[in-house]
Amino acid sequence: MTNHRAIVAAALSGASLFVIQTPASAESGAETASATEPEGDILITATRPAYRGDFDELEIPQAEQVIGPQQLRDINALDLNAALDLSASVARQNNFGGLWNSFAVRGFVGDENLPSNYLVNGFNAGRGFAGPRDLSGIEAVEVLKGPRAALFGRGEPGGTINLVTKRPRFESAGEVRLLAGSFDTYRADADLQTTLGDAVGVRFVGFYEDAGSFRDTIETERFGFMPSVAVKLGEATRIVYELEYARQEIPFDRGVVAVNGELGLIPQSRFLGEPGEGPNIAEVLGHQLELQHDFSDNWSALVGIGYRDTSLQGTSTEAELTGSRQQLFRDGRTLTRQRRFRDYDATYFVARAELAGNFTTGDVTHRVLIGADTDRFENDQVFLRARAPSLASNPTEQQLQAIDIFDPVYGRFPLPALSPLTDRVEVQKATGVYAQYQIGLSDSFELRVGGRYDDYDQRLTNRANGSVARTGEQRFSPQVGAVWRATPELSLYATYGENFRPLSGADFAGNPFDPNQSESVEAGVKYATADGRMSATASIFAIQQGNILVGDPANAGFTLAGGEARSRGFEFDFNGEIVGGLDLWVSYAYVDAEVENDVPDPDFGKLIEAGDRLLNIPEHTLNVQLAYSTVIAGRDARFGGGVLHVGERLGEVGTDFELPDYTLARIFAEAELTDGIRLRFDIDNLFDTEWFANSFSQLWVQPGMPRNARVTASFAF
């Protein structure tokens, strides 16, 4: 750890000197907004957003939610989970012992054995094993609701998360932030940028964090840096390169257990693994390169490539879920555990090109987006395990790797030797072409049609037995939508779209699964003031999903693609300045998500009946944030707080075990002490509420953080 600290400190210090010693040469115009200015949600980047086209908020026939720089700063968000909690449409899912981000949008989540996918500047970036996403280099988080396969390709029907990174803004500026918080949490962030002449902008973003936890024996260390360079190759051509490197050391932690379905019998701080396992290590090295050329004021082209190499390695001791091996189900205090080793590696490459433009014929406007992309995802997994025998054989406590949940003794038994279980590599390749056409038939009515054709290939190699299974698919994903501009500030919209997502793994015969398929309808009303100070969206939606992985009733321990589910609901989002200096954020969602056919659970073989709720999906979620900016003694100040309410959720499939609802409150205050120096104070979970973020079973339940405080000092120049 000492070497890691030295590396990070040297990198941050060197970057600081580089910026301070470079003369300022900020240009005039739109690209000179301060990198450290917290006000507003204006995103200034060197290239336009990919896969999106040129539309204002009221012209898009889908709900979209932008969590901008001000919202992220108001909650002092450090990771992706904190940001996504602002959107009521997003629900936390099983986070794999704290090693990755997993979330559902409008009730649907992806493969439970992989992190949830998200985009970074339009590139797929959630695929792989990079650990939980830090927000140090992120400018904004976009929640793009509804099916997006017509442009983005394979993905989830509920929506897509896109992260907008901090890119050079052709100015010399910077900010350094130092944070200290509860549970021995210490963190440093740097955001520094400068120019090299008039045509080159450079930005360096980096972070280092060393944190304890309210969980016994748990400590994490993480650091990363995200440098970027933007070059103007002329008045009409711009190129941007971004690098991402991050390393995280995170102990594997499955959380607490419920005894006979009852939570709260052991402290939320209790760790039920083995501290001697040490941390798991997640690492990522990524590159993005984009070139944009404007042919005219109306037409432009964008070409980009992205590459990410991620890895996850480590051992863990965690609760055994199989009933025939779990002693806790018999005596209510002795937890049977299993030991696991994971060595996961993933590489992802994507290249894309698109042309966007608009023209008019008479009084009719036409906006066109045409593009193509190709990608390759390689998922290499080696998995070892040591598992207890059946209770019927009267195993010893050492064989059970047992721990007393009420009086744990760590290191009681030697860590058992591991045996091979999984050794495979999966390669997914796809090439797609897409087009979107939106026509304005009048000043108030527009139609959108779009579609994407994908040629997809999947190869699964089982190195344990030498078998190779391969499948290929061709899919067309259509989308149609309409927008009626009732007034300059109000529009009504409706849309229909189809979606598909490849499934990893193979069935009993070794054949890869057919893709997951879905279709969605959505309608709503949008409001936005001309000055951009307030916006709101109310929407209703219905999604049908098929080919969900379920247990194979004829072959225990195997799965097949035969499940069906639906989700429908209502959402309301508001963001704006309601009076001078007073900002309000409201996000509410009602989601009714359930299974539609009787199927066996793929993990435990329990029967899931039609009408059962989907795992970890609350019916009601509400997030309200309020912040006020003022001047005190001639200095800027901002203070406020918020409330998050999450309803009851199903905690284990095939049972009636539920996670209770919870309501969390938070407050913050930030003030400028002198020019460029600010001090901030946060208290999260103000009333010290006991809450549970997610679960996979009654034996894998993630407790939420108790009341905690943070102090942040920042220096901007």
Q: What is the pLDDT of residues 521-543, one digit of tens each?
A: 999 999 999 998 999 999 999 99
For residues 57 and 281, what is the distance between their CA atoms, to the nearest angstrom?
41
Residue 47: the pLDDT is 53
Q: Are 631 and 653 in contact (CB under 8 A)?
A: no
User: Which tokens hold the place of 690?
Assistant: 């006991």
pLDDT at 138: 97
Give the CA diameter of the chain.
Answer: 84
CB 547 within 8 A of CB 517: yes
Extract the tokens encoding 185: 């949490």
**Which pLDDT belongs to residue 23?**
31
- Tell me what the mean pLDDT of segment 62-86 comes to: 96
Count the neighbouring beta carbons within 10 Å of the beta carbon of residue 559.
22
- Quick one: which H or E segment has residue 182? none
Residue 50, pLDDT score: 60
Cα–Cα distance measured from residue 534 to residue 514, given in angstroms and rounded to the nearest whole number: 44
Structure tokens belonging to residue 187: 């963190």
Tell me how long the chain is: 717
Residue 76 is which amino acid?
A: N
Domain ranges of the chain: 2-716
CA 700/CA 258 separation, integer angstroms: 8
Mean pLDDT confidence for 620-648: 97
Helices (H), 76-146: 80-84
Which of helix, strand or coil describes residue 15? Answer: helix
CATH of domain 2-716: 2.40.170.20
Are 371 and 436 a contacting pair, CB within 8 Å?
no
Q: Which of 278, 277, 267, 275 is nearest to 407 (CA)?
A: 267
* Predicted confidence (pLDDT) per residue in 177-194, tens digit: 999 999 999 999 999 999
Express each pLDDT in 99-146 by its tens digit.
999 999 999 987 777 889 899 998 887 788 999 999 999 999 999 998
Confidence of residue 284 (pLDDT cuts 50, 70, 90): very high
Cα separation, 217 vs 333, whole angstroms: 21
Mean pLDDT of the chain: 90
Q: Give pLDDT tens digits for 228-243.
A: 999 999 999 999 999 9
Q: What DSSP string describes 349-411?
A: EEEEEEEEEEEEETTEEEEEEEEEEEEEEEEEEEEEEE-PPPGGG---HHHHT-EESSS--TT
Q: Report whether 545 contacts 589 (CB < 8 A).
A: no
